[in-house]
Amino acid sequence: VTGASFVVFNGALKTSSGFLAKSSIVEDGLMVQITPETMESLRQALRDKKDFKITCGKTDTGDVKEYVDICWVENEEKTNKG
């Protein structure tokens, strides 16, 4: 679990890169590189206020180690104190 001050979603990851998605820590935030198709799905999930999971890692590897979960919560105060 990584806490971050901000999140950047970059929808320019090419399918030919061999990655489903890539995440990296940038200063005190998180940058998630995703394909344009995943970006459109993310946008729709945000419009619909639905949870969304981004799987990070190489496409040819069955061993996926990272996920970026976007979750809607009912009470922000309990999850974001301080």
| Lowest mean pLDDT across 14-28, 34-48, 52-66 | 52-66
Model pLDDT for residues 26-54, shown as the tens digit of each residue? 888 999 999 999 999 999 999 999 999 99
Residue 80 placed within a domain: no
Closest CA to 21 of 37, 9, 8, 35: 35
Residue 37 placed within a domain: yes
The parent domain of residue 32 ranges over 6-70
Q: Give me the number of domains the chain comprises.
A: 1
Query: Is this prediction's pTM over 0.75?
Result: yes
Residue 61: CATH number of its domain? 3.30.1360.220
Residue 31 placed within a domain: yes
Residue 38 placed within a domain: yes
- Taken in order 28, 33, 34, 40, is the CA torsion positive or negative? positive
